[in-house]
Each structure stands twice: as C-alpha cells, then as structure tokens.
Amino acid sequence: MEYLLKYLLLFCLFFSSLLAQSELSLKTIKFSGELKPNIKKRVSIKTIESLGIKSFEVLDPYTKIKTKYSGVNLKTFANFFANENTKSISFNALDGYSVNITKKEWEKFHILLATRINGELVGYDKKGPLRIVYPKYKKANENFAKNLPKWIWMIKSIEFK
C-alpha cells in the first residue's frame, strides 16, 4: 500500500510539472511596430520556439554558473517577424528595463532569444519567460563586456522599429 502511494505521488509530481510547462509555453509576448503582415499582436513562447530552437552551454556572467540556454537566434527571429522597414528591435521587461538591438548587431553577433534555462521553460520568478543571452560570451572580449547590459530578462513586450 505504501509502495503504491509513493508511486501515485511521483506520478502527480510529474504530471503537475508537465502542466506547468505547457502553461508556460502558452504565455504570450506583446508585439508592435514594423511587423510582417498577418503577424498577431500577441505571440506565444511556443510559436517563438517553432522557429527553431538551439542550445548553448554558457558560463553565466552574473551567477558564474555554467547554464544551458535554449532559444531562437535573433537573426532568425527578425527574419520571420520583422518587415523590411525594421532597423532595430526594442525589448521591454516587466521591471521597466529595456534594450534596443540594431540590425547591424544581430547580424554581427550571435544573439540568442532564450526561452529555456537548463531545458525548462521559466516564469518571471526565474527571469523568464524570455531573455537575451550572448551565447559566445567571453569575459576577456571587450565587445561582450559592452554588451553585458543587453542581457535583458523578464521580457514582456517587443517593438519592431
């Protein structure tokens, strides 16, 4: 009997985390500005991931912990959503923080619009649901030091300019 209860509990835990993940994948980001025709004004994490997700092991510059970030290359993202007038994309976070990234930058640097940390979708409490990471980050490179403030997290809206 005890044995059965243990398995039932494990099953419940597994199922509830599955539910939480599917809920997070339905979270939407507000889009505005120079968008391609027929793009919705709210786009889910699931739709963003459908553009093709790649993973990178990054030594996180703040926590100093090796972290696996997965997401969509910003160039791929821009090619899909932005129209030909777009010269930059502005990311706005829940805490009012915002960064603007130019076309020149996403063509020059490898910039990742990350949806997953260590394989899991994350909520605002863990700096999700969407954040920017420079996966080829190296501390010694001055370009990367300059780009550190652009590692914006808790993104809630994106404006194409």
Ligand X SMILES: Nc1nc2c(c(=O)[nH]1)N[C@H]1C(S)=C(S)[C@@H](COP(=O)(O)O)O[C@H]1N2
Toward Mo ion, which CB reaches closer, 48 or 133? 133
CA distance 43 to 13: 29
Interior/surface letters 56-70, b for 16+ CB within 10 angstroms, e for the rest: bebeeeeeeeeeebb
Residues 36-55 that bind Mo ion (CB under 5 A): none
Residues 143, 149: Cα–Cα separation, whole Å? 12
Residue 151 binding: pick among ligand X, Mo ion, none (C-beta 5-8 Å cut-off by kind): ligand X
Q: How many CB atoms lie within 10 A of CB 76?
A: 16
Name the segment binding ligand X (CB under 6 A); options: 10-18, 33-41, 75-83, 144-152: 144-152
Minimum gap (Å) between residue 44 Cβ and ligand X: 20
Q: Which is nearer to ligand X, 61 or 80 (CB)?
A: 61
Q: Which of 154, 158, 159, 160 binds ligand X (CB under 6 A)?
A: 154
